[in-house]
């Protein structure tokens, strides 16, 4: 996993920890929603919360490839996890850089690893510079990012993960131009991830599954910043993190809900059958004064270049949420059984 944790990145990580068929080999911490050191601290602390076994967490580049870092604490909270707060973790960071970690792992497990990126692609681009065979050494790459025939969420045409480091995305799309059809990256763009709407009603279902009390903790009329009293620590974390995301989306006229971009990408990484995809040639605008950072998809082969991506064009959000609630709820129950 390569993440910029991040409220929805945290839920993506929880989803994978809760999924028996997933083995998380390592976690790369990428600068994006918050600085890389904060991302790494969040990843380590989340593993503590989940009483997870030792999983290597590496620090990524502190800055994007070519431009200064921009972070978004207004979207994800001062530490990147909404209203939740983590104590410092006793776990230690890897000695390897995130880019070196990518390279070492794909060389050690050729054709076996699914890479999941839910933040800017800075470290993956750096890894590709170290190991150009990486697209063929990975089993599959699944990324959250871009917006296709859809408005951006950062500028009128930019999705956040691409906006932070457009050069990195271009290097990655270029590198995958040579990948065979079954190794093309699966791209979960905003047009689909914005249909993955978490609603206040999803949280009592999660609490019930985990046997956490009280069941009903979030309502649109609550005082902003109300803190969870959930008996289950994982449900408490999710509630405090997601409340911040609900308030952010409401403040931007999207309703009292939260787009679960990254957990959806995690679910697709485990089960590509959740997504309907269409091949396209994707490139990133690096020059435009108004459109720099825009992902452009050539669906019809007008550029005369082979497809370098499979873009997700549809899914069933209710099916995804049933899975998220069942998995994370059962996991929360198993890690913290009710007294
Ligand atoms: C993406 O941007 C980040 O803020 C989220 O974590 C997600 O990965 C959505 O545009
Ligand atoms: Ca993210």
Task: Say if ligand 1 is within 6 A of residue 159 CB.
Answer: yes
Alpha-carbon span 154 to 293, nearest angstrom: 10
Distance 273 CA to ligand 1 centre (A): 22
Distance 135 CA to ligand 2 centre (A): 22
Task: Say if ligand 1 is within 6 A of residue 122 CB.
Answer: no
Q: What CATH number should be reported for the domain holding residue 81?
A: 3.90.245.10
Q: Examine residue 210 and state whether it is found in any structural domain, yes or no.
A: no
Of the bound ligands, which one is closest to the alpha carbon of residue 188? 1
Residue 38: give the domain boundaries. Answer: 2-197+255-334
**Residue 339: predicted pLDDT:** 85
Q: Examine residue 208 and state whether it is found in any structural domain, yes or no.
A: no
Task: Say if ligand 1 is within 6 A of residue 310 CB.
Answer: no
Residues of the chain with pLDDT under 70: none
Count of structural domains, the chain? 1
Distance 337 CA to ligand 1 centre (A): 32
Distance 9 CA to ligand 2 centre (A): 5
- Residue whose CA lies nearest to ligand 1 atom number 2: 160
- Angstrom CA distances, 248 to 32, 107, 119, 169, 242, stand at 17, 41, 19, 26, 10
| 153 CA: nearest ligand 1 atom | 10
Of the bound ligands, which one is closest to the alpha carbon of residue 160? 1
**Residue 255: predicted pLDDT:** 97
Task: Say if ligand 1 is within 6 A of residue 75 CB.
Answer: yes
Distance 338 CA to ligand 2 centre (A): 31
Alpha-carbon span 80 to 339, nearest angstrom: 31
Task: Say if ligand 1 is within 6 A of residue 89 CB.
Answer: no
Q: Examine residue 216 and state whether it is found in any structural domain, yes or no.
A: no
Q: Examine residue 212 and state whether it is found in any structural domain, yes or no.
A: no
**Residue 141: predicted pLDDT:** 98
Task: Say if ligand 1 is within 6 A of residue 163 CB.
Answer: no
Distance of CA 338 to the CA centre of its chain: 30
Q: Examine residue 232 and state whether it is found in any structural domain, yes or no.
A: no
CB 94 within 8 A of CB 43: no
Distance 38 CA to ligand 1 centre (A): 16
Of the bound ligands, which one is closest to the alpha carbon of residue 151? 1
**Residue 178: predicted pLDDT:** 82
Task: Say if ligand 1 is within 6 A of residue 79 CB.
Answer: no
Q: Examine residue 215 and state whether it is found in any structural domain, yes or no.
A: no
Tens-place pLDDT, residues 76-133 = 999 999 999 999 999 999 999 999 999 999 999 999 999 999 999 999 999 999 999 9
Distance 12 CA to ligand 2 centre (A): 9
Task: Say if ligand 1 is within 6 A of residue 39 CB.
Answer: no
Q: Examine residue 226 and state whether it is found in any structural domain, yes or no.
A: no
| 193 CA: nearest ligand 1 atom | 9
Three-state secondary structure string covering the chain: CEECCCHHHHHHHHHHHCCCCCCCCEEEECCCCCCHHHHHHHHHHHHHHCCCCCCEEEECCCCCCCCCCCCCHHHHCCCCCCCCCCCCCCCCCCCCEHHHHHHHHHHHCCCCCEEEECCCCHHHHHHHHHCCCHHHHCCEEEEECCCCCCCCCCCCCCCHHHHHCHHHHHHHHHHHHHCCHHHCCEEECHHHHCCCEECCCHHHHHHHHHCCCCCCCCCCCCCCCCCCCCCCHHHHHHHHHHHHHHHHHHHCCCCCCEECHHHHHHHHHHCHHHEEEEEEEEEECCCCCCCCCCEEEECCCCCCCCCCEEEEEEECHHHHHHHHHHHHHHHHHHHCCCC
Tens-place pLDDT, residues 294-305 = 999 999 999 999
Q: Examine residue 326 and state whether it is found in any structural domain, yes or no.
A: yes
For tokens 């009710």, name the residue: 338
């Amino acid at each position: 996993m390569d993440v910029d944790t991040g409220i929805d990145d945290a839920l993506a990580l929880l989803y994978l920890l809760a999924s028996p068929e997933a083995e998380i080999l390592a976690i790369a911490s990428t600068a994006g929603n918050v600085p890389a050191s904060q991302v790494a601290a969040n990843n380590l602390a989340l593993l503590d919360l989940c009483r997870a076994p030792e999983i290597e967490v590496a620090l990524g580049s502190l800055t994007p490839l070519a431009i200064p870092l921009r972070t978004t604490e207004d979207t994800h909270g001062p530490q990147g996890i909404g209203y939740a707060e983590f104590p410092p973790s006793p776990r230690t960071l890897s000695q390897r850089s995130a880019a070196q970690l990518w390279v070492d792992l794909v060389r050690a497990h050729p054709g076996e690893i699914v890479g999941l990126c839910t933040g800017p692609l800075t470290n993956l681009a750096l890894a590709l510079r170290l190991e150009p065979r990486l697209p063929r050494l990975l089993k599959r790459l699944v990324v959250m990012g871009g917006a296709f025939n859809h408005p951006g969420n950062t500028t009128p045409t930019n999705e956040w993960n691409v906006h932070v480091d457009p050069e990195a995305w271009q290097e990655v799309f270029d590198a995958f131009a040579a990948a065979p059809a079954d190794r093309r990256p699966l791209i979960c763009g905003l047009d689909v991830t914005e249909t993955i709407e978490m609603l206040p009603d999803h949280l009592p279902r999660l609490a019930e599954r985990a046997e956490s009390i009280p069941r009903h903790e979030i309502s649109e009329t609550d005082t902003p910043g109300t803190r969870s009293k959930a008996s289950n620590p994982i449900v408490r974390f999710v509630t405090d993190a997601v409340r911040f995301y609900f308030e952010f989306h409401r403040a931007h006229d999207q309703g009292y809900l939260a787009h679960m971009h990254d957990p959806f990408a995690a679910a697709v990484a485990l089960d590509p059958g959740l997504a309907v995809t269409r091949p396209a040639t994707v490139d990133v605008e690096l020059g435009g004064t108004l459109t720099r950072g825009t992902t452009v998809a050539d669906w019809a082969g007008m550029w005369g270049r082979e497809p370098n991506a499979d873009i997700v064009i549809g899914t069933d959000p209710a099916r995804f949420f049933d899975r998220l609630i069942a998995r994370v709820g059962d996991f929360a129950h198993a890690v913290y059984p009710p007294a």
